[in-house]
């Protein structure tokens, strides 16, 4: 899995007066901007030194840029799912996903535990929400994916479909997915969605060491020096 800190952004956040930013698409706007600036021309992969970025690395970058915060080590590890080794995932992945082990929930669990995001029911998904999903393969194993919700479509019979934006192996780039993901009523999917919170008035004074606070897991938000 990923070495923590492979993609690093040192930004600033206030920890008071938080609001949701998912519904107005802020993470999606940030994701598109990053794709055209800092990650322009990057391909799919896990080695930033070769200008590569994968699904969860891109999600981490979007979260930290959107919220203007550098997440603490354990929160970053949960977003990257680097607290689960490849060996454990290969051996126990099916059981972990099926019993909804928190470590498989990726960005949802990370932001919820840190107090900077709220879980979202699939029926309430909106553009800008962040998603960690697992798809069951023909051999019984589960394949993980993470992205930003770009559009949501409600079709007849109650089916909800989302088009995702993120780093995609199949396109070897950061782009809009070429397929829609069904968010509900699928036994071969495990989907966890979170809506990021962000501070609405970034022009206010920077937090001091006394008031910048700590997040729900005991991690501290770290200011840009």
Q: What is the pLDDT of residues 37-62, one digit of tens each?
A: 999 999 999 999 999 999 999 999 99
Question: Of 1-10, 34-43, 67-76, which range is least confident?
Answer: 1-10
Number of H helices, E strands in the chain: 5, 9
Largest CA distance in the chain: 54
Q: Is the dihedral of CA 20, 202, 31, 50 positive or negative?
A: negative
Q: What is the pLDDT of residues 120-137, one digit of tens each?
A: 999 999 999 999 998 877
Does residue 115 register a pLDDT over 90?
yes
Give the residue with greater pLDDT, 88 vs 217: 88
How far apart CA 82 and CA 158 sit, in angstroms, is 35
Can you read off the two tokens belonging to residue 106? Answer: 């990726």
Does residue 12 register a pLDDT over 50?
no
How far apart CA 190 and CA 123 sit, in angstroms, is 14
> What is the model's pLDDT at position 218?
37
The answer to whether 222 and 69 are in contact (CB under 8 A) is yes
Residues with Cβ within 8 Å of residue 190, at least 6 apart in sequence: 97, 98, 100, 104, 133, 134, 142
Residues with Cβ within 8 Å of residue 68, at least 6 apart in sequence: 11, 12, 13, 198, 199, 202
How far apart CA 218 and CA 175 sit, in angstroms, is 35
Sorted by where each begins, the domain ranges of the chain are 19-198
Q: What is the pLDDT of residues 188-224, one digit of tens each?
A: 788 999 999 865 544 333 332 233 333 333 333 333 3
Does residue 23 register a pLDDT over 50?
no
Q: What is the pLDDT of residues 134-182, one digit of tens each?
A: 887 777 677 789 999 999 999 888 899 999 999 999 999 999 999 999 9
């Amino acid at each position: 899995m990923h070495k923590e800190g492979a993609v690093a952004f040192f930004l600033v956040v206030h920890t008071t007066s938080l609001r949701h930013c998912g519904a107005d698409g802020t993470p999606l706007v940030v994701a598109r901007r990053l794709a055209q600036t800092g990650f322009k021309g990057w391909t799919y992969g896990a080695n930033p030194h070769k200008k590569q970025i994968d699904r969860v690395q891109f999600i981490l970058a979007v979260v930290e840029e959107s919220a203007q915060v550098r997440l603490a080590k354990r929160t970053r590890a949960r977003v990257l799912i680097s607290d689960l080794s490849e060996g454990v995932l290969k051996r126990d992945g099916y059981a972990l996903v099926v019993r909804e082990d928190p470590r498989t929930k990726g960005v949802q669990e990370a932001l919820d535990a840190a107090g900077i995001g709220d879980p979202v029911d699939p029926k309430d998904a909106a553009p800008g929400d962040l998603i960690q999903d697992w798809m069951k393969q023909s051999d019984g194993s589960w394949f993980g994916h993470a992205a930003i919700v770009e559009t949501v479509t409600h079709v007849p019979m109650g089916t909800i479909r989302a088009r995702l934006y993120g780093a995609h192996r199949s396109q070897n780039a950061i782009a809009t997915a070429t397929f829609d993901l069904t968010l509900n009523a699928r036994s071969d999917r495990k989907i966890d969605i979170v809506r990021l919170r962000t501070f609405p008035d970034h022009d206010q004074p920077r937090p001091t060491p006394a008031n910048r606070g700590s997040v729900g897991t005991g991690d501290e938000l770290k200011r840009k020096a």
